[in-house]
Structure 1
Amino acid sequence: MYPEEMVAPMKAQLTNKGFEDLNTSEKVLKAIKQSGTTLLIINSVCGCAAGGARPGVLLSVEGEGKKPDHLTTTFAGFDVDAVKTAREHLAPFPPSSPSIALFKDGELVHFLERHHIEGHSPEMIAENLKQAYAEFC
């Protein structure tokens, strides 16, 4: 498990922009089962992938256009039970962090695994997500 002083700034990058911190299994279940659309980013300390994922997610919800109703995040290697619960709802995809999921009325409708994030710019990640928002939000 990662120390809080390492994780806190990476969590804050999202929570300071309005993302709800899902740090318990109960919060994850409540968020996923909400009506409407819920974006969930499983955050990570990995600089090469998470360093693009966080800015990409933030870019995807800026400006005009369709957006998810609910913005949420949990942190791999820190919010252990919460991430385990989230991953139970990401089947058939294997555990991946960072990763980004879009749920609509409790159903997974779009998912970016680490290999879809790593090596891609924040702008490319944002564009992928914006296309999903246009279809599902």
Structure 2
Amino acid sequence: MVAPMREELIDAGFQQLLTPDQVDAALQQPGTTLLVVNSVCGCAAAGARPGVTEALRRGELRFDRLVTVFAGMEKEATAQAREYFEGAQPTSPQAAILKDGQLVHLMQRPDFLNHAPEEIAASLTAAYRRTLG
């Protein structure tokens, strides 16, 4: 059931992280990382995945790594990824911008809920410019 939801991000260039060790290996590397906590919820389908992929298609965002975990599926990997979110409440979906393993911006469920993909793409792009630009 979740295969198409995974593929949407994998087709956009994201690497699926399935274990806590894979999460640490990806997020502790130097450089910039976009991490998406994927989900089966409606706001992930209607906003988060299309919004994030739209932002990447626009060509302004340059990340060293694009990675994803799937909430509710790889629970341990998702929990490990959220350890990098510095005390933020866990929500699904989430999109985090990290630099050298440190969180610089986090989009939570309210940032996706009832927002069109274009709005989400614009918000992610603005956060990228503000934090990494």
| TM-score of the alignment, normalized to the shorter chain, above 0.5 | yes
Following superposition of structure 1 onto structure 2, how do residues 23-42 of structure 1 map, counting pairs within 5 Å?
Answer: 23-42=18-37
Name stretches of at least 5 consecutive residues in structure 2 with no aligned partner. Answer: none
Q: CA deviation at 1:34?
A: 1.4
Residues of 1 paired with 2:59 and 2:84: CA distance?
29
Matched, 1:94 2:89: yes
Matched, 1:62 2:77: no
In structure 2, what is the equivalent of residue 75 of structure 1?
Answer: 70
Q: Check whether the contact 2:37–2:69 (CA below 8 A) recurs between aligned residues.
A: yes
Matched AA of 2:124: L
Q: CA RMSD in A?
A: 1.1
- Give the paired residue count: 131
Residues of 1 paired with 2:59 and 2:73: CA distance?
33
Residues of 2 paired with 1:85 and 1:63: CA distance?
30
TM-score (norm 1): 0.91
Q: CA deviation at 1:92?
A: 2.1
Name stretches of at least 5 consecutive residues in structure 1 with no aligned partner. Answer: 1-5
Matched AA of 1:50: A
TM-score (norm 2): 0.93
Q: CA deviation at 1:62?
A: 1.1
Q: 2:44 is matched with which residue: 44, 50, 73? A: 50
Q: Check whether the contact 1:67–1:133 (CA below 8 A) recurs between aligned residues.
A: no
Matched AA of 1:92: G
Q: Once the two structures are aligned, what percentage of the paired residues are identical?
A: 45
